[in-house]
A and B are shown apart, each in its own frame.
Chain A
Amino acid sequence: MSPDPRPLAVRVTGASHRYGGTDALRAVSLDIPAGASVAVIGPDGVGKSTLLGLVAGVKRLQAGAVQVLGGDMASARHRDAVSPRIAYMPQGLGRNLYPTLSVRENIDFFGRLYGQGAAEREARIARLLRATGLDPFPDRPAGKLSGGMKQKLALCCALVHDPDLLILDEPTTGVDPLSRRQFWTLVEGIRAERPGMTVLVATAYMEEAGRFDRLVAMDAGRVLAEGPTAEVLAGLGVATPEEAYRHLLGLGRGAALVMPPRVGRDGPPAIRAEGLTRRFGGFTAVDDVSFSIARGEIFGFLGSNGCGKTTTMKMLTGLLPASAGRAELLGRPITAGDLGTRLRVGYMSQSFSLYEELSVRANLALHARLYRIPEGEVGPRVEAALGQFDLAAAAEALPASLPLGIRQRLQLAAACLHRPEVLILDEPTSGVDPQARDMFWGLLGRLSREDGVTIFVSTHFMNEAERCDRISLMHAGRVLAVGTPADLARGHADLEEAFVAALEQAGAGREDGAAPAAVPAGPQPTARAMAPPVADRSLATSLGRIWAFARREMTEVLRDRIRLAFALLGPMLLLVTFGYGISFDVEKLPFAVFDRDQSQESRRLVDEFAGSRYFEEREPVRSDLEADRRLRSGELKLVLAIPPGFGKDLLRGHRPELGVFLDGAMPFRAETARGYAQGILGHYAASRGLAQAQGPEVRPRFNYNQAFRSAAAILPGCIMVLMIMIPSMLTAVGVVREREIGSISNLYASPATVGEFLLGKQLPYLVLGFASFLALVAQADLMFGVPVRGSLAALLLGALLYVAAATGLGLLVSAFARTQVAAIVGASILTTVPAINFSGYLYPAATVEGAGRWIGLGFPALWFQNISLGSFAKARAFGDFQLEFLMLSGFALLFLALAALLLKKQEA
């Protein structure tokens, strides 16, 4: 290898990385000169992504050293300083994009994150859109773009800040050939404009690797060969990276797979579609598609991303009903409930759809059993599949920890496990390394030729398409051509050319922007490359980033109308329900009399009870046993037992006893009922002139709520409960969801701090929560006649601080939980218990004892309850709540600080 005179952009020295017990990188050392373009190639799971992640600074360095753009990536200070000069595109189609945001909004978000002003952003967005050919549809949501366009958009987002180091992790995996070609033309155009920019790419397409200055070949966590592409190839005595790759892995040269000829089979076609059409709203995804696939045939489906391949396949599996047309599988029309047919079909979806939380072996065993493989055969069948698909080493691993290629292999193994007669495979080899792809196609060949399995497969690899018996070219929901690969390639250099030509003719080129305009460059990186990087920590920059996160989050919330409606209308509906539904008036308690006196006096007493609105008389009781039975069944809440001789004793002044039996299952009601009984008895005695009052006259005065209405006492507390539960739930899924979806990598790669990210996430929900609060206050006044009688200013300030604490709590839960499920359950439980029980909602807080008292004091709800009740019912003044304001601000800050501590800016 010849020494490169240019300064180094990246220097990796002895870097090792482990996940759990497995080594991903073993003492890797690598130098990348500034301005070079480097391709990292190698089989799946050899550590390519890990290496790229370490260089980008999104993965925590475990051992060794990584120097990037003149500094040590182990130092957080250097990472912060250098991150504005690095761009990182993680693996997976559009993984770092926000699907509900439009093309323009996505780029705009990244521009804001890097502190660009409005005019600058505008200019850059226009330039990038023009360059990538995305300019005709700046307002299309990213989620609705085809895979190729998603990757172009992701590239725009990566390039918006003129990086000096561009890191792309398998950017073209799962992208159709035309888009792939356009993508690399774009990257080359940018490099031509900015020759100082270093480009580091991992790729599974060996033919792409030839475009790069330098090659890094990896296997099993080590670098096998590294250097200028020509030198590496010459050194190995091979002509192409593909051969080099085979050579390095010791696979022998040119052992290209040849598909054995097809054996004709009789019988009806295995799959037949006639005029198959599927519409989603006004959009026609599949338009009048017809084809017929014979038994044992390998039928390939080619087309740009989003052309309707997946939708067609889903209709064939019965997952989606067709809007029009008909389809038959193995001679039977497809119906959703046809289990018999499903046993004979294997399906592999485009995205990973096995269980992340089960090991590879457990996933296969579950499949085997669900496909009714006899119990005795399950073990051997799973072992065979593990061996056949080269999964034995990963048998006990969880799929989440495996690289894309191995996950795809697992899906294939699962789809073939029950030896189906028809295999429907949606881009099965996307992201799979060439060696595994060959292995897989060898297997498909055997299945088709020897076992007569019909295979319907979609792919973006031309060498795979060439192995099919027939292929169909699809574009924009329509089939452009069907025929053998040789027929279709006729008149073109090869199949790929034929494919690209057909697509361009159909208008794909125009739509996807075939000829990217030159990208006018920003400042040349070489000029500033060696200047010591300094992180921009000014307040204005920081506020700008917070605003970028907040704006994006707000846009997403506003797009999700249903969520918005739940967030605003849900609390209002609950307030109505609680306002009318919760009441502590105990009335119409069912009671019965066990009258063993049957005198005039006893009947008078019973009438006194029956006439009160608190009690409602039922059939009299005739025995102790009956009294017991009817109390036990819950039919009666109170039994009045009048002893024999009651009337006589009463008139003689002998103070007879009156027995009252109460159902104590609900202590509150029993206690109230006892109080009522006492009162009625007193009234009875007074009305009969039997007792003369002696004591002082106690005059009760009901403060704050003279009418003693439940609503007036309950509503302020309801608002307190709702305003902790809803806002905390709004933010609780925030962080953990980004982690599950993958867009959290934007935080890892950006110059923003965790605090800025969290504040930006919190801000929109603070606004939403506060708006919801205002609606509740208005509702309490207008609907229930419960106005704010004290300081409105105090209530508003208190609510603002309270919602800040609640959203902060949600973020804390979110930073702590690993799954959305845990975050939701956590937010529900952690807020419900203290808010309802320990914060003075139903039971005065001052009466709570023990740990509950401390939990109440250590939770924001109790403090806001003071403000809510104080300003609604008690007419307290602003100045009375200083302690409450202080405590609520403290909680808001504390929760946010804890969340920031728990959320790491790098992944393991």
Chain B
Amino acid sequence: MARWLANVFRLGVKELSSLAADRVLLALIVYCFTFSVYQVATGVKTGVDNATVAVVDGDRSVLSARIADGMLPPEFRPARQMDRAGVDGAMDRGEVTFVLDLPPGLEADLLRGERPPVQLGIDATAMTQAGIGAGYVEAIVARETAALLAPGADGAAPVSLVSRVQFNPNLESGWFQAVMAVIQYVTILSILLVGAAVIREREHGTIEHLLVMPLTAGEIAAAKIWANGLVILVATGLSLLLVVQALLGVPVRGSIALFLAGAGVYLFATTSLGVLLATVTRSMPQFALLGIPVFLVLNMLSGATSPLEGMPAALRVVMQASPTVHFTSMAQAILYRGAGLDTVWPELLVLAGLGSAFLAVALSQFRAMLARSQ
């Protein structure tokens, strides 16, 4: 055991110095965990944030002006006044997502007690905004009308809904995006770095040399896993403390130590997957082309951007084999909801199990891989 550890340690140190020699690669890793996380967190808005609205004001009344002014940040950008002719083009070009068409005589009709129709055009290709945003626009129209018709009374709803959002009271998407971006980069880098390191050794013939030494395939793989995993783990920790917490000001409720421990287990699973992908491909170009679909599926279908509940049942079952699904749910529990080990241990267990399975298959392929690359 001591020998095993010593060998794995030495090979891992070698791995670290290989990594340190590749300046371009290091620069890319730093870029991911700093600038890129910051940009995604500050730039990308999930849900209705900064939504673009155009108002075709055929009424030119006090009410129509109030409605247009009622589109307020952070949900909406200031409404653009447009004439009907320009509306279609603007929506075609993606410049506006919502178009509210206020017909002539709107205010007068309402004052007479009628309910005139108002068209709300929605760009339904903007899936993340269309549904919720339409509700917001309706609410604004109702609110402003009520304020005009019955000043003083704040609407006439029979029940007032008091919503309290736990863990992220103002629904700031940056909080969410920052951590999800970190997870994305962890996934991409861990799979690519380890897999490419294996292929590189094979293409340079060094792995053959290792296999005639008193070393096992397990030691070689374990060294790659810990060394590359450690680099990514350190980068993750620093990114979380310096970029996410300090720079972006995202409040972290739970224990960062627990999160990093979980990230360690996750890295074990993804790096093992990287080794597995490397053993089934024959060259670097092949590995690269296999790597893209794998990390794209892991990231896009992790449940972070698109909920698992919305997937077809069969796909949902398949995605249970994705370590990213479990890690995403665990990361959210720990970082946002402050969950402890008592809550997240099932996920940790699943991640460890998945990692062991990937590694076992990879190791069984290790020597066969050498014969294949002849």
Contact = CB atoms under 8 A, between A and B. Distances in A.
Interface in B146-167: 146, 149-150, 156-167
B126 A563 contact: no
B311 A581 contact: yes
B22 to A, nearest CB: 6
Interface centre among B3, B44, B49, B337 (most CB of A within 10 A): B44
Interface string B121-140: 11111111111101111110
B54 to A, nearest CB: 12
Interface in A710-743: 710, 712-714, 716, 721, 725-726, 729-730, 732-733, 737, 740
Nearest to A682: B157
A213 interface: no
B125 A712 contact: yes
A392 interface: no
Contact of B212 (A347, A706, A876): A347
Contacts of A828: 188, 192, 291-292, 295
B45 A849 contact: yes
A855 interface: yes
Contact of A666 (B31, B127, B176, B212): B176
B286 to A, nearest CB: 5
B158 A685 contact: yes
A267 interface: no
B367 interface: yes
A6 interface: no
B324 interface: no
Contact of B45 (A362, A587, A699, A848): A848
Nearest to A702: B124
Given A357-B18, A675-B135, A850 B146 contact: no
A336 interface: yes
Nearest to B6: A369
A704 interface: yes
B320 interface: no
Interface stretch (A230-238, A525-533, A537-545, A656-664): A656-664
Interface stretch (A81-89, A591-599, A837-845): A837-845
Contact of B36 (A726, A829, A844, A845): A829
Interface stretch (A15-23, A41-49, A60-68, A689-697): A689-697
A867 to B, nearest CB: 11
A844 B129 contact: yes
Given A691-B158, A695-B145, A662 B284 contact: no
Contacts of B3: 372
Interface residues on B, range: 35 or more
B43 to A, nearest CB: 2
Interface in A384-426: none
Given A349-B205, A662-B166, A701-B121, A319 B211 contact: yes
Contact of A369 (B10, B287, B311): B10
A662 B163 CA distance: 7
A903 to B, nearest CB: 15
Interface string B73-104: 00001000000000000011111110000000
Contacts of A703: 91, 121-124
Given A588-B309, A826-B28, A849-B45, A679 B124 contact: no
A240 interface: no
Contacts of A318: 211-212
Contacts of A314: 208
A840 B43 CA distance: 12
A695 B301 contact: no
Interface stretch (B112-120, B237-245, B264-272, B349-357): B112-120
Contact of B343 (A632, A661, A726, A838): A632
Contact of B176 (A280, A667, A725): A667
A847 to B, nearest CB: 4
Nearest to A851: B39
Contacts of B258: none
A694 B153 CA distance: 13
A740 B284 CA distance: 11
A816 B214 contact: no
B117 A674 contact: no
Interface stretch (A133-141, A188-196, A817-825): A817-825
Interface residues of A, number: 157
Interface string B198-242: 001001111011111111100000000000000000000000000
A257 interface: no
Given A678-B161, A829-B188, A844-B97, A586 B168 contact: no
Given A366-B10, A838-B44, A876-B92, A631 B125 contact: no
A670 B49 CA distance: 14
A320 interface: yes
Contacts of A650: 158-159
Interface string B288-321: 1111110111011100111101111001000100
Nearest to B173: A667
Contact of A566 (B159, B290, B310): B290
B43 A822 contact: no
Contacts of A443: none
Contacts of B260: none
A353 B11 contact: no
A587 B310 CA distance: 7
B68 interface: no
A630 B186 CA distance: 29
A256 interface: no
Given A691-B157, A702-B124, A678 B135 contact: yes
Contacts of A336: 367
B164 A659 contact: yes
A700 B193 contact: no
A665 B309 contact: no
22 contacts: A317-B212, A343-B214, A354-B209, A369-B10, A372-B3, A666-B176, A667-B168, A677-B161, A681-B161, A684-B159, A694-B115, A696-B141, A700-B134, A825-B189, A826-B24, A829-B28, A847-B45, A853-B43, A855-B43, A866-B94, A870-B93, A874-B92
Given A665-B168, A844-B126, 20 more contacts: A319-B370, A354-B206, A580-B315, A581-B311, A586-B309, A666-B307, A668-B128, A696-B110, A697-B117, A698-B141, A700-B120, A704-B125, A822-B24, A826-B24, A844-B94, A847-B50, A847-B51, A851-B39, A874-B91, A874-B92
6 closest Cβ pairs, A-B complex: A852-B43, A664-B168, A583-B310, A705-B124, A695-B145, A566-B289
